Amino acid sequence: MIHKPVLLNEILEALNPQPGQLFIDGTANGGGHTFAILERIKPNGRILAIDKDRDLIEKLQVDGVVSVCGSYGDIKKIADDHGFYQVSGILLDLGYSSHHLERSGRGFSFQKDEPLIMRYETESDLGTGLTAKDAVNQFSESDLADIFYRYGEERFSRRIAKAIYLARKKRKIETTKELADIVASAYPKRFFYKIHPATKVFQALRVFVNNELSELENTLPQALEILASDGRIAVISFHSLEDRIVKNFFKAEKEKGIINIITKKPIITSAEEAKANPRARSAKMRVAEKSS
């Protein structure tokens, strides 16, 4: 198992998988949630595991798991293609995995010196193919500032974008370390103690090049179509932009009478889990149930 699953006990309690049921893990990562759900739905249940990264998907090929390299943005088509109708539960864990940070070599972490890629997929036919290197070297200064502000909520977006623009006039920005150093040079020193200066910029670029917010908005209605009556959907988000989309979608669908919201407030990680897995600290889970 590559990915340390976040809120695992809470997921199992919220989705309550039972033997013989059908489930979908739309963001399988290293299979932490997938295999835990599989244990509950054995012997006759099946779980559809979707992930953009073929390196991860190939490790999930076991009995009871239908593993597909693809995007959860195509969740309904993938489900239809593999006979997953009227499913009992759907999980979307929107966090990237430890594999992406530590082993993928694709530039997700500013703590390593890697090529500026930041794309989840290994397949060239998935997504747009746009990389973080393309963005920082080709986009206008104002467009970069907008990306950092919109997708990272970075308050110093304009001065960071200007620093990037000036730096790339001297030479192309190729690696994560180069970008992180440029961002740090533009950041007011009095704010260094809170989080690493590059944190929000890296988040913004990752969200932008992977089209994460639009994909989430497109996925949620599809997920409700696939769910059986009384089936549940759980979404784990890791920043306010994602959580806001899920919250607003659930609220709108509740007003239509399509779902009932199970979590009046988002479920967050315990102090023990946050200590054991620091990346889980910002996780928030919202759960809804499709009306009968």
Q: What average pLDDT does the segment 97-113 reach?
A: 67
Confidence of residue 178 (pLDDT cuts 50, 70, 90): very high
Give me the pLDDT at residue 123, please: 54
Percent of all residues in the chain with a pLDDT value above 70, rounded to a whole number:
92
Confidence of residue 283 (pLDDT cuts 50, 70, 90): very high
Give me the pLDDT at residue 195, please: 81
Centre a 10 Å sphere on the Cβ of residue 184 and count the other Cβ atoms it contains: 17
Kindly tell me the sign of the dihedral angle through the C-alpha atoms of 44, 45, 47, 48: positive
Confidence of residue 192 (pLDDT cuts 50, 70, 90): confident
Give me the pLDDT at residue 63, please: 94
Put simply, whether the predicted model's pTM sits higher than 0.95 gets the answer no
Residues 128-209, CATH architecture: Orthogonal Bundle (1.10)
Give me the pLDDT at residue 161, please: 98
**Of 31-45, 118-132, 162-176, 225-239, where does mean pLDDT reach its minimum?**
118-132
Judge residue 60's burial from the number of C-beta atoms within 10 Å of its C-beta, 0-12 exposed, 13-18 middle, 19 or more buried: buried
Give me the pLDDT at residue 1, please: 42
Q: How far apart are CA 208 and CA 128, in angstroms?
A: 11
Give me the pLDDT at residue 54, please: 83
Domain 8-99+212-290: give its CATH superfamily. Answer: Vaccinia Virus protein VP39 (3.40.50.150)
Q: What average pLDDT does the segment 80-102 reach?
A: 82
Q: Across the chain, what does the average pLDDT equal?
A: 91
Give me the pLDDT at residue 55, please: 79
Q: How far apart are CA 123 and CA 73, in angstroms?
A: 15
**Of 14-18, 97-101, 194-198, 273-277, where does mean pLDDT reach its minimum?**
97-101
State the span(s) of the chain assigned CATH 3.40.50.150: 8-99+212-290
State the span(s) of the chain assigned CATH 1.10.150.170: 128-209
pLDDT at 124 over 50: no
Give me the pLDDT at residue 15, please: 98
pLDDT at 156 over 80: yes
Q: What average pLDDT does the segment 226-233 reach?
A: 98
pLDDT at 87 over 80: yes
Angle, CA 223 vertex, CA 27 and CA 41 arms, to 5°:
65
Q: What is the 3-state secondary structure (H, E, C) of 172-239?
A: CCCEHHHHHHHHHHHCCHHHCCCCCCCHHHHHHHHHHHCCHHHHHHHHHHHHHHHEEEEEEEEEEECC
Confidence of residue 179 (pLDDT cuts 50, 70, 90): very high
